[in-house]
Amino acid sequence: MSEQSLLLGQTLAFTGDPFHLPIEDSARHERRGAVLVADGRIADTGPADVLRARHPKAAVTDYGDALITAGFIDSHVHFPQTAIIASWGKRLIDWLNSYTFPEELRFNDPDYAAEIARLYLDLTLANGTTTVASYCTIHPESVDAFFSEAQRRKLRAVAGKTCMDRNAPEGLRDTPQTSYDQSKKLLAKWHGVDRLSYAITPRFSPTSTPEQLAAMGALWAEHPNCLMQTHLSEQTDEVAWVADLFPQARDYLDTYESHGLLGSGGMYGHAIYLTDREKARIKEVDAALIHCPTSNTFIGSGLFDMGGLKAAGHRIGLATDTGGGSSFSMLRTMAAAYEIGQLRGNPLHPAQLFWLATVGSAQSMRMDDKVGNLSKGLEADLVVLDLAATKATEQRAAQANDFWESLFPTIMMGDDRAINAVWIDGKPTR
């Protein structure tokens, strides 16, 4: 028989969507729970005493009062922006030109790309994030560096070459043909290898000609099971620029739609200034919107309409958008989502925040049958959270009247000190 591990602690699993069901019907919390891990998968969950009796030979790791959940899933990041995170004072287009593009130029060096991929994944794992969807740079070397490092760590991960053929500096531009050829080659090399998947990645409409968007659309049509990730309606200046660049387009989404880049595997980052037509089309094809709250405040973009979009039935993931976002932590990202909800008169429940950072992001990446929840059969990527990791959270949690009240202080004030352990593919990482 294969080796079995039994993890004991508080446990949290989702049985439904807390935006659509009462909290008590959508989440299951065990005060003293257990997770059985075997062959890299979650083999059983339930009360600790029941699972101990059922699996007497399993090797026990007792995490005490700590909370065991699915690892966090960050559905929109730029690993090459690790070194320029928290760069001061610019809004989107100036921020790209001043900080991002000069840094991304460095990724033609495979050694530098490998160094930053290592550093980035060290930081995300230290923050309890077990799966990310990352943009790379225009350089195929950056994609190889990211996937090689993710593969070495046995991570489930998504990434793609970021394609741009205009409005970017010399050295960061490809062409419709080279972007197609290089993306296709990388897709063939990495998609479906171990736990890795390729995402076709046109950066955003301002940095692609219509010809490049069409080339990306053609590649997606050849590989419809791949994800496609891009940016949509993040800042008002950007939306106006897109209208200038694409005078024929009905709206920003149409610049993608008319080039074959609207579909169910589409992941559209930010999506703050959507028209009714755009919302209706995205809903119709069941594409995903990715909420990047620390980025939307840090770059000064605006307030995502979580309440309205969830009520309309949209598929929504949560993401740091590192390094436009100001954190590697999905706890900090949940806190920012809460604050933006408050500014819109819609305080999100801790269950909703946690659901977004796990199941919601997994759904947005079409991976909720593989990761993102504490349920039998899913891959065993887990995070163990100490809800009393600092004096601040400890004293507040001590006053809590129920589980959600004990969790919320760690959502709002927690950071990597709250990450007690991380399990990847059924094994502890440290």
327 binds ligand GUN (CB under 6 A): no
**How far is residue 225's CA from residue 230's CA, in Å, rounded to a whole number?**
16
**How far is residue 54's CA from residue 10's CA, in Å, rounded to a whole number?**
18
With CB under 6 A as the contact rule, the residue among 45, 100, 179, 358 that binds ligand GUN is 100
**In Å, how far are 60, 215, 265, 313, 390 from 286, measured between CA atoms?**
42, 23, 8, 9, 41
- Spell out the residues 6+ positions from residue 426 whose beta carbon is closer than 8 angstroms to its own: 5, 37, 38, 39, 40, 41, 379, 380
Q: Which residue lies nearer to Zn ion by CB, 74 or 321?
A: 321
Contact 403, 383 (CB under 8 A): no
Nearest of 56, 74, 87, 127 to residue 323 by alpha carbon: 87
9 binds ligand GUN (CB under 6 A): no
Q: Which residue lies nearer to ligand GUN by CB, 96 or 199?
A: 96
| Class of residue 305 by CB neighbours under 10 A (exposed 0-12, middle 13-18, buried 19+) | buried
- Spell out the residues 6+ positions from residue 350 whose beta carbon is closer than 8 angstroms to its own: 404, 407, 408, 411
Work out how close the CB of 290 gets to Zn ion at its nearest, in angstroms, rounded to a whole number. 8
> Taking CB positions, which residue lies at the least distance from ligand GUN?
324
| Binding partner selected for residue 234 from ligand GUN, Zn ion, none, CB under the kind-specific 5 to 8 Å limit | ligand GUN
Work out how close the CB of 268 gets to Zn ion at its nearest, in angstroms, rounded to a whole number. 11
Q: Which residue lies nearer to Zn ion by CB, 278 or 321?
A: 321
**How far is residue 324's CA from residue 334's CA, in Å, rounded to a whole number?**
16
Contact 10, 66 (CB under 8 A): yes
Between 59 and 98, how does the x/- string for binding to ligand GUN read (CB under 6 A)? -------------------x-------------x---x--
| Binding partner selected for residue 208 from ligand GUN, Zn ion, none, CB under the kind-specific 5 to 8 Å limit | none
Residues 272-301 that bind ligand GUN (CB under 6 A): 295, 299
Work out how close the CB of 325 gets to ligand GUN at its nearest, in angstroms, rounded to a whole number. 7
Q: Which residues bind Zn ion (CB under 5 A)?
A: 269, 321
Q: Which residue lies nearer to ligand GUN by CB, 165 or 234?
A: 234
Work out how close the CB of 78 gets to Zn ion at its nearest, in angstroms, rounded to a whole number. 6
Work out how close the CB of 234 gets to ligand GUN at its nearest, in angstroms, rounded to a whole number. 5
Angle in degrees, 0-180, between the axes of helices 403-413 and 391-398, rounded to the nearest 10: 160
With CB under 6 A as the contact rule, the residue among 231, 315, 332, 366 that binds ligand GUN is 231
139 binds ligand GUN (CB under 6 A): no
| Binding partner selected for residue 203 from Zn ion, ligand GUN, none, CB under the kind-specific 5 to 8 Å limit | ligand GUN
Nearest of 294, 277, 344, 358 to residue 74 by alpha carbon: 358
| Binding partner selected for residue 295 from Zn ion, ligand GUN, none, CB under the kind-specific 5 to 8 Å limit | ligand GUN
Work out how close the CB of 325 gets to Zn ion at its nearest, in angstroms, rounded to a whole number. 8
**How far is residue 213's CA from residue 359's CA, in Å, rounded to a whole number?**
30
| Binding partner selected for residue 204 from ligand GUN, Zn ion, none, CB under the kind-specific 5 to 8 Å limit | ligand GUN
**How far is residue 411's CA from residue 389's CA, in Å, rounded to a whole number?**
12
Q: Which DSSP string corresponds to 104-148?
A: HGGGGSHHHHHHHHHHHHHHHHHTTEEEEEEE--SSHHHHHHHHH
**How far is residue 127's CA from residue 357's CA, in Å, rounded to a whole number?**
12
Work out how close the CB of 202 gets to Zn ion at its nearest, in angstroms, rounded to a whole number. 12
With CB under 6 A as the contact rule, the residue among 149, 234, 251, 386 that binds ligand GUN is 234
321 binds ligand GUN (CB under 6 A): yes
Q: Which residue lies nearer to ligand GUN by CB, 5 or 201?
A: 201
Contact 134, 156 (CB under 8 A): no
Work out how close the CB of 92 gets to ligand GUN at its nearest, in angstroms, rounded to a whole number. 6
Contact 253, 261 (CB under 8 A): no
Q: Which residue lies nearer to Zn ion by CB, 69 or 201?
A: 201
Q: Which residue lies nearer to ligand GUN by CB, 66 or 227?
A: 227
254 binds ligand GUN (CB under 6 A): no
Residues that bind ligand GUN (CB under 6 A): 78, 92, 96, 100, 203-204, 231, 234, 295, 299, 321, 324
